[in-house]
Amino acid sequence: MTDHDPLAAGLTGGLQHVATFCGQCSCGCPELYVDPDAGDERRVVITDDFGQRIQMSLAQLAVIVDDARNGVLDGLLADAT
């Protein structure tokens, strides 16, 4: 892990890990957590490899997932490949 590791920075205490995005390197990849102690509007936590985090509701995450399934991000990702 790097100096930008959210776990090393103590940002994930008490969170339940759901997914790691990438995981193919040792640079510290974005991760998705659920915070069972947070209010509904802040239950989902996404950390990045720079020690930052965002929090959102499960409803907001559902919109992102639905949009991704429906191709909303396809144009953005086409430029990345």
What's the number of domains the chain is made of? Answer: 1
Residue 71 located in a structural domain: yes
Question: How far is residue 66 from each of residues 28, 32, 54, 55, 73, measured CA to CA in Å?
Answer: 26, 17, 19, 18, 11
4: which 2 tokens? Answer: 């930008």
Residue 59 located in a structural domain: yes
Q: Which residues pair with 54 in a beta bridge?
A: 46
Which are the contacts of 66, defined by CB distance < 8 A and separation ≥ 6? none
Average pLDDT in the 29-40 region?
95
pLDDT of residue 77 exceeding 70, the answer is yes
Residue 6 located in a structural domain: no
Average pLDDT in the 53-70 region?
96
Residue 72 located in a structural domain: yes
**pLDDT at residue number 21:** 87
- Contact between 39 and 49 under an 8 Å Cβ cutoff? The reply is no
Residue 73 located in a structural domain: yes
